[in-house]
Amino acid sequence: MTEITVFNYLLITWFLLAAVVFAALFFVAAPYGRHIRRGWGPTLTNRTGWLLMEAPAPLVFALLYFLGEHRASLTAIAFLLLWEAHYVHRAFIYPFSLANRERKMPLTVVLFGFIFNLGNAYLNGRYLFTFVSYPNDWLGDFRFLSGAMVFIAGFVINRSADEILHHLRKQNNAGYRIPFGGMYRWISCPNYFGEILTWTGWAIATWSLPGLAFALWTFANLAPRARTHHRWYLEQFPDYPKERKALIPGLW
């Protein structure tokens, strides 16, 4: 069996698993962060968990770039920079910014995230740097330009929302508080909204099935969690702003 055959089977599986995860997470909240609970086995600290879970994404993607047959093109370099801009922060900076670094995360969640990031980095990196060749003029294509703009907008929204949460947690070590400012004016989870935008932009910029699979996975994972977060806020805080939606301003 050739690598491209294995790749295609894995890609099909990736789409199917996204649908399964989307449905499952409406019934079972992933047990980390504010939704952590007993019964999910051994735990790690948040810092260790995030490091182990996210590290495959930037490392494997970079390795596949350097091993790729088409790494010399400017387009390949642009894809590398976009991906690493998100994941170097997520894997190696964000864990050290956590206000409560001793909060626990189940090992099962870490393993699931590790496997996902390993497979996702392989699908995207192998496709972009070996299986296809993007010409340099792709950087001027409307799909790349519009996708890159959506990616950057999502990146900025995600980072801004995370910073608001970070400062709020530093000021309130005793527990959670209602966040205000930025897109928290309209939705409960602008960090998730931003991440969904980021990888939707990636799917458009790469115009690829692996990119589309990643965008769908991001939505499948974060949309149900945003709904759970929103309900949690409403239950915990009687004065929670009623005009806020969960994930999409004015809609849902």
Query: 100 and 129 share a domain?
Result: yes
Domain region containing 227: 141-252
Query: 39 and 91 share a domain?
Result: yes
Buried b / exposed e along 161-191 (16+ C-beta atoms within 10 A): bbebbeebbeeeeeeeeebeebbbebbbbbb
**Token pair for residue 101?**
């670094």
Residue 174 has pLDDT above 60, yes or no: no
Residue 53 lies in a domain: yes
> Which of the listed residues 72, 101, 134 is the one where a domain comes to its end?
134
Residue 24 lies in a domain: no
Residue 77 has pLDDT above 90, yes or no: yes
Residue 229 has pLDDT above 90, yes or no: yes
DSSP per position, 84-104: HHHHHHHHHTHHHH-S-TT-E
How far is Cα 230 from Cα 3, in angstroms, rounded to an integer? 43
Query: 147 and 228 share a domain?
Result: yes
How many domains, in total, are found in the chain? Answer: 2
Query: 125 and 182 share a domain?
Result: no
Q: How confident is the model at residue 166 (pLDDT cuts 50, 70, 90)?
A: confident
Q: How confident is the model at residue 39 (pLDDT cuts 50, 70, 90)?
A: confident
Helical pair 46-54 and 74-92, crossing angle rounded to 10 deg: 160
Return mean pLDDT, the chain.
93
Residue 247 lies in a domain: yes
> Which of the listed residues 103, 134, 165 is the one where a domain comes to its end?
134
How far is Cα 225 from Cα 233, in angstroms, rounded to an integer? 12
Query: 125 and 174 share a domain?
Result: no
Query: 108 and 194 share a domain?
Result: no
Global pTM reads 0.95
Q: Are 229 and 189 in contact (CB under 8 A)?
A: yes
Query: 130 and 172 share a domain?
Result: no
Residue 13 lies in a domain: no
Query: 153 and 249 share a domain?
Result: yes
**Token pair for residue 137?**
């003029």
Rg of the chain in Å (alpha carbons): 19
